[in-house]
Every structure is written in structure tokens, then in C-alpha cells.
């Protein structure tokens, strides 16, 4: 098992990519805490999936935008397991529309959730990881962070910021054996991308060289690798996982 007895915390673990990461971590031997915003039923299902793999689970309803709530979550994790080895900043939202149709809340909500949320959790988790002299922080970014397009200026800015945050934080924490990396997925089959996937329909096969949308499990495999000892010498990197979408080659 690649994550035997590790303690992980995944934000946005109730659905989509975060759910797949939480379950994959448990399958690899980690005890997993996760944060969700509203969907308690979905969170309960993830708890059952983790426990069915013989690992312990802790689901906490909290808003990643609220710094003191993030501190309370990390306190609960440490109270329960006395450590925190892996943090995955995955919670995210979209509010897609053309810039001139956006209201202030459309960029505030997106940046506060996708970027500030990751900073909040990283800040409190890093305190624990510094004392442990060990930690893995994984930020779930997006190809939009480098190749943002129409209707996503708020989202692209949040993910571009997250990529920059990843690189800069990696330099600060490396001396204490803490790695910080990001995953930049393309089009992945979750509720978040449903509208875009419906709009694109069969065009997805033309846009994506590997001719399909990704699955949350594809992304989870990369997260497991980055959290595992195999990635101990990798830090400050942004890994694209998009079936070749960002290459823009095949049509």
C-alpha cells in the first residue's frame, strides 16, 4: 500500500474528483478526513466507502473560505490522529459567464473558494507539517490556470493564482521536507463539468486527443502518486492531466 497509515485531509471530498481522491487514498491505506460544503448525504456515502476499505473516515461540513473554520477542521484531524501528512486542496466552484456579464460576487466567490480556500487550509496544515518535518500538499488546479478561455476569467484567474501559490509555497516549505504540487485537470466527468460536456457532446472526441473526458479516478491516481514516497523528490510542479486537450493539436 502506497499510503499505509498516512493521515490525509481532502477538501471537497463529497463529490467528483475529491471523492475519488478520498477513496483512492483509503484504498492505499490512509485514514481520510474530508470537508464538504452542503451535501451531507453524498458525504455520508464517502464515509461508508472509506470505512469499507478498513480505514477511518472523518467528514466535516465547513466552508473553505472561512479561515477559522479551516483551523477547526485541522485541529479535529490532529485531535483524532495526532498528525496530518497529506492535504489536498480540491474544493472548487465555477461561475462561468462573459466578463461583462459578471457581478462582483461571481469573481469574489470563485477566487475566495478556489484560491483563498487553498491558502487557508495550507496555512494551518503547514504549521503541523513543519513540526512533523513531513508533509505533502496537493492543489487541484485546472488547465484553465494556463489556458483560460472565454467565460472563465474568474476561474482562470483563481487557478493561475493557485499555480503561482503552489510554486512559491514549495520554495518556502522544502527545507522542512514538505512538498507542494498541483494537478491541472482538463475535462473530467463530474457535476461541475456537466453543462460543458452536454454542450460539447460528440465534439469531445475531436477536442481531446485521447478521445474521451477524464474520469475522477484518472485524477485520483495522480494524486496518490504525488502523495506517495515515489514523489518525494518532486515539488513546486503543476501536472496537467487532460488527455492531451491543452496540446491543441488533433482536430
Ligand X SMILES: NC(=O)c1ccc[n+]([C@@H]2O[C@H](COP(=O)([O-])OP(=O)(O)OC[C@H]3O[C@@H](n4cnc5c(N)ncnc54)[C@H](OP(=O)(O)O)[C@@H]3O)[C@@H](O)[C@H]2O)c1
Question: Hey, which residues are catalytic here?
Answer: 155
For residue 227, the minimal CB distance to ligand X (Å) is 16
Among 32, 64, 110, 115, binds ligand X (CB under 6 A): 64
Q: Which of residues 76-95 bind ligand X (CB under 6 A)?
A: 90-93
Among 39, 177, 228, 237, binds ligand X (CB under 6 A): 39
- What separation in angstroms does the CA of 174 have from each of 136, 199, 200? 10, 43, 41
- The 144-163 site mask, x for binding ligand X (CB under 6 A), equals --------------------
Dist CA 120 CA 64 (whole Å)? 7
Helix ranges (H only) for the chain are 16-27, 40-51, 67-81, 104-111, 117-132, 144-147, 153-173, 194-200, 204-207, 216-227
Half-sphere exposure of 239 (CA within 13 A, CB side): 19
Q: How many residues does this entry show for the chain?
A: 251
Among 27, 154, 181, 190, binds ligand X (CB under 6 A): 190
Considering only 16-24, 77-85, 201-209, 222-230, which stretch makes contact with ligand X by CB under 6 A? 16-24
Among 47, 77, 86, 113, binds ligand X (CB under 6 A): 113
Dist CA 206 CA 203 (whole Å)? 5
- What is the DSSP code (8-state) at residue 179? E
Nearer to ligand X, 134 or 181 (CB): 181
Among 59, 156, 187, 231, binds ligand X (CB under 6 A): 187
The dihedral built from the CA positions of residue 19, 24, 26 and 31, taken in this order, carries a sign that is negative
Among 17, 24, 33, 115, binds ligand X (CB under 6 A): 17
Number of residues binding to ligand X, judged by CB under 6 A: 32
Q: Cell digits for 186?
A: 482538463
Nearer to ligand X, 62 or 134 (CB): 62
Nearer to ligand X, 39 or 228 (CB): 39
Q: Are 218 and 160 in contact (CB under 8 A)?
A: no
Residue with cell 456515502: 45
Rule CB under 6 A: is residue 15 a binding residue for ligand X? yes
- The 123-142 site mask, x for binding ligand X (CB under 6 A), equals -----------------x-x
Q: Are 117 and 88 in contact (CB under 8 A)?
A: no
Among 29, 42, 127, 209, binds ligand X (CB under 6 A): 42
**Which residues of the shown chain bind ligand X in the complex (CB under 6 A)?**
11-18, 35-39, 42, 63-65, 90-93, 113-114, 140, 142, 185, 187-188, 190-193
Amino acid at each position: 500500500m502506497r499510503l499505509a497509515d498516512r493521515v490525509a485531509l481532502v477538501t471537497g471530498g463529497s463529490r467528483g474528483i475529491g471523492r475519488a481522491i478520498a477513496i483512492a487514498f483509503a484504498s492505499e491505506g490512509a485514514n481520510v478526513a474530508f470537508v464538504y460544503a452542503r451535501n451531507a448525504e453524498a458525504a455520508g456515502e464517502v464515509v461508508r466507502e472509506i470505512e469499507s476499505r478498513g480505514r477511518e473516515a472523518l467528514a466535516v461540513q465547513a466552508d473553505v473560505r472561512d479561515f477559522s473554520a479551516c483551523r477547526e477542521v485541522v485541529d479535529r484531524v490532529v485531535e483524532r490522529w495526532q498528525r496530518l501528512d497529506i492535504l489536498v486542496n480540491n474544493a472548487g466552484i465555477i461561475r462561468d459567464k462573459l466578463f461583462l456579464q459578471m457581478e462582483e460576487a461571481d469573481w469574489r466567490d470563485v477566487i475566495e473558494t478556489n484560491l483563498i480556500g487553498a491558502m487557508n487550509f495550507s496555512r494551518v496544515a503547514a504549521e503541523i507539517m513543519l513540526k512533523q518535518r513531513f508533509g505533502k500538499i496537493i492543489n487541484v488546479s485546472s488547465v484553465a490556470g494556463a489556458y483560460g478561455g472565454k467565460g472563465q476569467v474568474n476561474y482562470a484567474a483563481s487557478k493561475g493564482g493557485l499555480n503561482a501559490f503552489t510554486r512559491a509555497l514549495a520554495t518556502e516549505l522544502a527545507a522542512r521536507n514538505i512538498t507542494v504540487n498541483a494537478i491541472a485537470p482538463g475535462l473530467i466527468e463530474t457535476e461541475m463539468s456537466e453543462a460543458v460536456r452536454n454542450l460539447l457532446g460528440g465534439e469531445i472526441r475531436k477536442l481531446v486527443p485521447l478521445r474521451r473526458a477524464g474520469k475522477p479516478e484518472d485524477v485520483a491516481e495522480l494524486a496518490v502518486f504525488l502523495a506517495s514516497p515515489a514523489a518525494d523528490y518532486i515539488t513546486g510542479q503543476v501536472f496537467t492531466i487532460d488527455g492531451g486537450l491543452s496540446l491543441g493539436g488533433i482536430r
